[in-house]
Structure 1
């Protein structure tokens, strides 16, 4: 059978999920070979006798947004639907951010807002979130004394806040976070002399802070980060020249900084990034026209900037983004009305912006988003009380 291999994907399950019965061993995913991967030289993956070719399932194009359930015993998609975003024959009609009453409102799958508190006297900026296995979430914030604090969900309850310190001089931005494998978390901040700093959890303990420098013009705001396979990290920042700059870890060393340009007029906010498959990266920024812009790496090249618009009234800050399946992207922003707005790619098209509301008093930061499984999204934002608020879809 010829099929596509996302680093975390197996059929309709996440393969790096210990709840699926797989055991994590060493520093590599058990189903990857030991060969090196260079994203700028597209190579077929070879592992356990399979040849992985993007997008192909048997002889059919894989499209998770057609909502079919994968049957591992077959080489096709049987006609069984599992995607709540395509229930029945109706698609929600949205007018001014609200649904008409005679359409299916899939927002019934969204929880209410949950107040998770804050370290000490609260925090500033926006939260970051990552997940390294099913039903696991790790969240990070910048406290008012410019330290990085950590709070996690272990599958049963939320922990207390943990102080992870800071580089000398303290944080100068909100953190970013990502996981490339079970029991692994990588965090990034702007600190010190406005360079990018890195701190990671390796399954046994937290590392010291590592200074990764800055692009030649320097940078502002917070980093964005994504990972598309084991031991791979792609970091993005807004340079002082208002271009998007890129630095990556290839499993053995850090690259230099790469200038990816900008939409006309330049960036007007920190970038965000996500990966939904091997050798795939999607980046999102707010442009000078206060629209959301999209640029993506498809395994061979960086594509041109795409304007995805904005919710009614525009939005502030950066984009929160997550992916719960191949060819699926969910984006979240803080609207100028201090509500959280959602726009998603369903494998065929971008859907219209929808208003997901806010805790009482509105949200005061850009949201972050993470997915730990199919049809699951967890969002976090700073509320009016300077606590971290949580809303999830399942």
Structure 2
């Protein structure tokens, strides 16, 4: 169906649509609509297919080409009748749009997961009640690449199952974040989430799937704000655009999530939830927009940190009397938390929530720096080497557990990470100098060797594309790394002359960064952006390995 046919069909159905309630459409093509009647601003229809865009809507062809790939379409699975005696009428339905914001996280509208929303009948449980929003999400998938090529031929889309509804209407806002079963960023990239709103008259673009159609674009200026909503009165949308990221043309970042129609031929405006409102409620979005921060212990035994926000800050003290390198993570609530070992061999931590807390003990005794991470279920977990050289851990789940041994015969400081698939993994240097790891997947595996001869503890991170990557200092004092991508790579050198184990992080833009302390006691870093940069100093006079987040 071409644009003109699609729009005339949608407009003919508009009288049947009130506040998103849609008369039963063709399941192969139609969709769950917007919260309000899908609307065209003014008397003309401006949608253009993304690969046929001619640059006349207010953004460049280059902008559309650079930002269309992370946009996907939500679709119900087509085999609901095989799992439900009462499957409803949504099987195979193309519903909403959305945007990939991290390797396996997809931002969209909350009402896309409202049971029995917009006049549809969801699958029923045995008691005839509609399945929950979370259950519904798990019966959906996200299609990327559902679009026409420059000649008008339909491309083959790639589908990614949704495995969980991570956030849904938090704070009463009409947004949702779903997690995909595997990383999509390696193939489609992702879009950066803005931390600031657009201004009135800033040019915006919405790329999505109007009326369930292949991917299209329209653009227009921001016209105003109303409470939690960003408005735009010359940017067309239809049902199916719900959940599309509202893109800021100057920065390419997401400044809203499209949710509401409101335009008419003579006035009104379409609208989306403004990004700053979502950030106030969403730990996940606060996580993906977190500034790059690096921590290390100073010569005064305090923990010091600096951050990058368009440029590097100076080093600032967090105080304390610590004896190890720090570790840092973000909790599920978006709370930045830093850990280190104290002079009493206990692990201490402090957190930032509008301001820094004091240092609080988690007990011990431990013999190494800690390694902290947060599981897919949101459980804050801390690892450290014990005085018996085994790896011990404790976790917070409403309260702190006791310290629990994972065994092993290790040296140096451990590292911990959660993979793109949600598997908790802890790495360490064995007593024979090899990199070893064990993972939790319903139960703990045994310790498994990854070989090599490393001279430091490891650092581990998951890239924006979902690739698990491990760094360590080699016996030549260079930093070496290896990664898992269906199988483990060999070790590759990043050069340098370093004195401690490295730290690593991924920036909000998806850039992989590795940190290490040099022989001058400054913190140095290098980053990967299509290729590795040289080593760049961040200055300082530090006495421990760094931790990045």
Same fold (TM over 0.5): yes
> Who is 2:267 aligned against?
none
> Who is 1:110 aligned against?
312
- Give TM-score scaled by structure 2 length: 0.48
> Who is 2:484 aligned against?
297
> Who is 2:494 aligned against?
308
SS at match of 1:236: strand
Residue deviations 1:366-388 (CA, integer Å, cap 9, x gap): 11011xxxxxxxxxxxxxxxxxx
> Who is 2:447 aligned against?
257
1:285 aligns with 2:472: yes
> Who is 1:165 aligned against?
363
1:200 aligns with 2:419: no
Gap regions ≥5 residues in structure 1: 13-28, 35-42, 84-105, 371-394
Q: Is the 8 A contact 2:104 2:183 kept in 1?
A: no
Q: Is the 8 A contact 2:104 2:182 kept in 1?
A: no
Q: Is the 8 A contact 1:274 1:321 kept in 2?
A: yes
> Who is 2:106 aligned against?
10
Superposition deviation, residue 63 in structure 1: 6.8
> Who is 2:516 aligned against?
333
Q: Is the 8 A contact 2:384 2:393 kept in 1?
A: yes
Query: Greater relative contact order: 1 or 2 (C-alpha under 8 angstroms, separation 6 or more)?
Result: 1
Correspondences of 1:147-158 after superposition (within 5 Å)? 147-154=346-353, 156-158=354-356
Measured in 1, the distance between the counterparts of 2:425 and 2:250 equals: 36
Measured in 1, the distance between the counterparts of 2:459 and 2:136 equals: 28
Q: Is the 8 A contact 1:126 1:365 kept in 2?
A: yes
Superposition deviation, residue 132 in structure 1: 2.0
> Who is 1:344 aligned against?
527
Q: Is the 8 A contact 1:132 1:180 kept in 2?
A: no
Measured in 1, the distance between the counterparts of 2:445 and 2:464 equals: 21
Measured in 1, the distance between the counterparts of 2:534 and 2:400 equals: 41
Structure whose CA Rg is larger: 2
SS at match of 2:341: strand
Measured in 1, the distance between the counterparts of 2:536 and 2:382 equals: 30
Paired residues in the alignment total 297
- Give TM-score scaled by structure 1 length: 0.66
> Who is 1:273 aligned against?
460
> Who is 1:366 aligned against?
545
Superposition deviation, residue 191 in structure 1: 0.4
RMSD: 3.5
Correspondences of 1:208-287 after superposition (within 5 Å)? 208-214=402-408, 218-229=409-420, 232-250=423-441, 252-262=442-452, 266-277=453-464, 280-287=467-474
Superposition deviation, residue 7 in structure 1: 7.1
Superposition deviation, residue 329 in structure 1: 1.1
Q: Is the 8 A contact 2:103 2:185 kept in 1?
A: no
Superposition deviation, residue 158 in structure 1: 0.5
Q: In structure 2, do the counterparts of structure 1 residues 255 and 80 end up closer, same or farther at CA, with 3 Å as the change threshold?
A: farther
Q: Is the 8 A contact 1:221 1:238 kept in 2?
A: yes
Correspondences of 1:59-78 after superposition (within 5 Å)? 61-62=188-189, 73=208
Measured in 2, the distance between the counterparts of 1:306 and 1:283 equals: 11
Q: Is the 8 A contact 2:208 2:216 kept in 1?
A: no
Which of 373, 382, 397 is residue 187 of structure 1 equivalent to?
A: 382
Measured in 1, the distance between the counterparts of 2:463 and 2:535 equals: 21
Superposition deviation, residue 45 in structure 1: 4.0
1:143 aligns with 2:338: no
Q: Is the 8 A contact 1:228 1:277 kept in 2?
A: no
Q: Is the 8 A contact 1:180 1:229 kept in 2?
A: no
Measured in 1, the distance between the counterparts of 2:399 and 2:465 equals: 28
Q: In structure 2, do the counterparts of structure 1 residues 53 and 6 end up closer, same or farther at CA, with 3 Å as the change threshold?
A: same
Q: Is the 8 A contact 2:370 2:413 kept in 1?
A: yes
Superposition deviation, residue 44 in structure 1: 5.9
Measured in 2, the distance between the counterparts of 1:142 and 1:345 equals: 31
Measured in 1, the distance between the counterparts of 2:327 and 2:135 equals: 28
Measured in 2, the distance between the counterparts of 1:139 and 1:191 equals: 19
SS at match of 2:489: coil
Superposition deviation, residue 10 in structure 1: 3.4
Which of 328, 334, 351 is residue 129 of structure 1 equivalent to?
A: 328
Q: In structure 2, do the counterparts of structure 1 residues 140 and 4 end up closer, same or farther at CA, with 3 Å as the change threshold?
A: same
Q: Is the 8 A contact 1:198 1:210 kept in 2?
A: yes
Q: Is the 8 A contact 2:106 2:179 kept in 1?
A: no
Q: In structure 2, do the counterparts of structure 1 residues 293 and 133 end up closer, same or farther at CA, with 3 Å as the change threshold?
A: same
Q: Is the 8 A contact 1:142 1:175 kept in 2?
A: yes
